[in-house]
Amino acid sequence: MSKLKKMPKFKSEKEEAEFWSNHDSAEYIDYSKAKRVIFPNLKPSTRTISIRLPESLFEHLKALANKKDVPYQSLLKMLLAEKVEEELRAAR
């Protein structure tokens, strides 16, 4: 491997982002020495949405969540994720 370039010092994240958008990091970092790491406390990004549900569906969701002893929003996310995964598998 050729000699790596010296990593520049950045004054801000914006400056760093601009730099990396125009430069290849392989010229600055020896990836053959990289080690795999796990970040157990990272949470996936989420987006707040607004959804209109029929009142009866919402009440059934809350009752089911109560029965399972989980918050209704968590149950809704679990059910939605399961159904989306099922649909994606069926589409293959």
**Domain locations in the chain as residue ranges:** 55-91
Cβ atoms of 19 and 10 closer than 8 Å: yes
Judged against a pLDDT cut of 80, whether residue 30 lies above it is answered with: yes
Percent of the chain with pLDDT over 70: 99
pLDDT of 1 above 60: no
The structure's pTM equals 0.53
- The alpha-carbon radius of gyration of the chain (Å, integer) is 23
pLDDT interval class at 41 (50, 70, 90) = confident
Rounded to an integer, the average pLDDT of 71-89 is: 96
Looking at residue 42, its pLDDT comes to 87
* C-beta of residue 21 within 8 angstroms of C-beta of residue 13: no
